[in-house]
């Protein structure tokens, strides 16, 4: 059964290839959705797919790209699915 998760990542996560890292991992996991920088310095990830794959994405978000320094990860699960046809970078998520 498909689920959706919204993930908010805090720390040094903008300008350190974090979005590209999440994009690659999400596509490898067969997930759909997007990743984008928020104005407050966090990164937001909206992903949907199989729960096991989403849990792996959360773990990748906790580690981050090699240059990132993740300090906090919050996430919210949902059964309210969107219509995504890919996983992409969203340049205006606010």
Q: What amino acid positions are annotated as catalytic residues?
A: 19, 37
Instruction: Please tell me the distance from the alpha carbon of residue 74 to that of residue 44, in angstroms, as a whole number.
Output: 10
Token pair 């699915």 in the structure block, residue: 81
Q: Assess contact for 5 and 82: CB atoms under 8 A.
A: no
Backbone torsions φ then ψ of 51, nearest 5 degrees: -60, -40
Tell which residue, 10, 6, 30, 34, has the closest CA to residue 20.
Answer: 34
């Amino acid at each position: 059964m498909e689920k959706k998760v919204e993930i908010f990542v805090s720390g040094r996560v903008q300008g350190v290839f974090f979005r590209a890292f999440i994009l690659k991992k999400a596509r490898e996991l067969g997930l759909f959705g997007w990743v984008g920088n928020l104005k407050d310095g966090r990164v937001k990830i909206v992903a949907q797919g199989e729960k096991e794959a989403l849990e792996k994405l959360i773990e990748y978000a906790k580690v981050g790209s090699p240059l990132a320094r993740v300090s906090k990860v919050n996430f919210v699960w949902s059964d309210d699915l969107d219509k995504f046809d890919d996983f992409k970078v969203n340049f205006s998520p606010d």
